[in-house]
Structure 1
Amino acid sequence: MTYEGILTKMQTELGNPIQYYLVFENSFLNVNQLLGKEVELIFDGFQCLNCGKQKKIFRQGFCYDCFYSSPAVGDWIMKPELSTAHLGIEDRDLEYEKQVQLKPHIVYFASSSEVKVGVTRNTQVPTRWIDQGAEQALAIVEVPNRYLAGITEVALKSHFADKTNWRKMLTNDIVEVDLMDEKNKVAALLPNEVRDYFDINAFDVTSLQYPVLHYPKKITSLSLDKTPSFQGKLIGIKGQYLIFEDGTVFNVRSNEGYKVRISV
């Protein structure tokens, strides 16, 4: 059986374990069904997720021109504290930015390697946590816009990590912590504008289980640019990564916009 299409990040469904899907234009694949099977992955070219042209992908599934023009990849995406829609100030497209920035956002703790702090729209819970490979996650505070979430993250990331150590996440080298204990520590660290939104009892810890047969001890990242054809036995899926028996890992999300064929 062969599936082909343009890679976009795997769609997920909360379950025990989490279910993963690759969705193409004319088909979809429940990736969990490939566990324990030999899978061949072949790179066939590029297609920008924004303009649809067959141009080399620059970042986040976008070609160079689209990456520097589309409102979907403005600087405020990676740095929420740069959001300005609440002030009526445009970055690239004010109407688009209002639709995204002026929605309730969650600031959270996630345990995917060590404890990290992050930001996401409340509609992206638990999807965001799954995409990061979190074993556990806990919302710290819910605020009405992305800017307030951003300044909260800035205040907390001098005390907590703000990035996942993907190597530790994929080898299951995770520091065990009590996220409620960590949440108890943050009240005094929050910006003044956010403290009224903080409620220590507002949220519960979410635990997540991934479809992994066993974890490798060492891993090597697969680059389709360098290795356009790869074959291996799939032993796990975690975050947005496929994990193979020989320790090769493939980040689906970082290869968005790549045309592939997947044979089983």
Structure 2
Amino acid sequence: MSSVPDGKKLVRSPSGLRMMPEMGAYSSPFSLDEPQWVPDKECPRCMQCDTKFDFITRKHHCRRCGKCFCDKCCSKKVPLPRMCFVDPVRQCAECALISQKETEFYDRQLKVLMNGATFLVTLGCSEKSETMVCRLSNNHRYLFLDGESHFEVELAKISTVQVLTEGLTPGEKDIHTYTSLLESQYITEGGNNRAIGLLLQYKAVGSQDLQKMKLTASDDYNSNKKLAGSWLVAMHKAAKLLYESRDQ
């Protein structure tokens, strides 16, 4: 194990080399823990095709789910950024497909979130709004909001994310909600519905009461509307990963 800049360290695990935060408590809320491998003695056959393992047919563990597979069913080596692996790692076909989709989020949407966008921000039931730049922190743990005032929201304290879209009658399906209990719906770039705002429910530091916040892409900032829309779509995808992490 060796230390590297920016508060991270290289850790060698049975699954491969990982780039981990120096302080485990400050890991990204999108990250996943390595799974416990199914013990060799408990898997005499491939858990996908039921082929019996022997000296010729060797067993391999999927780095994402920890199950045992033959080489045919676990041959793909795919990046797994949610577990902080430095290099692509061996995964079963089902896990590889999931990881490939997540890699696009890490390569594209995270950069959009960290670059930030400008919104009109309304707190609680207030009628007053403030123009603020909202961006995701470099460690993915906080939403920073900067304007005349400044405050931050910890992602782990967010209980509900609602993306407001344009193009539907209010009260029908104009609010797309992600929680650990509700069925998820998707907003697609270039689709019929355009993301125009975001509603958050969260707990502030030192409080157990739920706070509300609304972010709206203002019509006064036409040059920012496309950027704001991309940021909202990225936040929608981030919410999906966030709540999936809580359920695992």
Same fold (TM over 0.5): no
**Bin for the TM-score computed over the shorter chain:** under 0.3
Which one has the largest radius of gyration?
A: 2
Q: Give the TM-score normalised by structure 1.
A: 0.23
Q: TM-score with structure 2 length normalisation?
A: 0.25
